[in-house]
Amino acid sequence: MRGSRGNRGGDSDAALVAALGDGDLGALRELYDRHAPWLSVRLSRRCSDPDVVADALQDCFQAVWTQSGRWRGDGEVAAWLWGIAVRRLVSRLRGRRQVLVVPLDDSAAPGRTPTDVSAEERVLLGVEYGDLGAALGRLSPEMRAVVQATVLDGLTSREAGRLLGIPENTVKTRLHRAKARLREDLAVGATEGLA
């Protein structure tokens, strides 16, 4: 299974992607072993149909195999893989009327605060102060799904619409409202915190 080139355990992700261009199936296997588990979990949080998730995962690694030349060599291989995987998921869902989207977890764990929301995400949300986790938790599931698909997963409105099974314009409207709600909520939280 590992191929004749021996153990690839020591190679970096980028080196593995580079080896794909030479038709090295062992490198694809190692990439799959490293990344398929977390990709499948993350995809399952967007779509509750395990068959569709499996198809998207398969499409993703097949695309990586044939188009490894598109890897520009900078940034994280993991982020590149996720970008491919989520778009494959979207195209697998295209044309399906019955889209089963997992609503984001409603049970915000008490006593925990986000420890690793990146600066980029905070800027995108227009959030400077306040308790982001709680504010996100107060959004309706529909709005949260839109925020997740567009802001956190980096999909376009059209792609997010396909993923969620709603029209593109609805995505835009909901995102607009969600951002307004968050700003409002966080501003109130910040003033209360000062008082």
Identify which of 54, 59, 63, 52 has the alpha carbon closest to the alpha carbon of residue 93: 52
| Interface segment toward another protein; rule CB under 8 A; list 3-11, 26-34, 159-167, 169-177 | 26-34
Distance CA 33, CA 79 (A): 16
Q: Which is nearer to another protein, 108 or 167 (CB)?
A: 108
Q: What's the min distance (Å) between Cβ of 10 and another protein?
A: 13
61, 162, 175, 186: which one binds another protein (CB under 8 A): 61
Q: Which residues contact 106 (CB under 8 A, 6 or more apart)?
A: 137, 141
Identify which of 104, 98, 95, 110 has the alpha carbon closest to the alpha carbon of residue 152: 104
| Interface segment toward another protein; rule CB under 8 A; list 3-11, 27-35, 160-168, 186-194 | 27-35
123 scored as a contact of another protein (CB under 8 A): no
Cα maximum dimension of the chain: 67
2, 18, 137, 142: which one binds another protein (CB under 8 A): 137
Q: Which is nearer to another protein, 5 or 42 (CB)?
A: 42
154 scored as a contact of another protein (CB under 8 A): no
At how many degrees (to 10) do helices 50-66 and 25-44 cross? Answer: 150
152 scored as a contact of another protein (CB under 8 A): yes
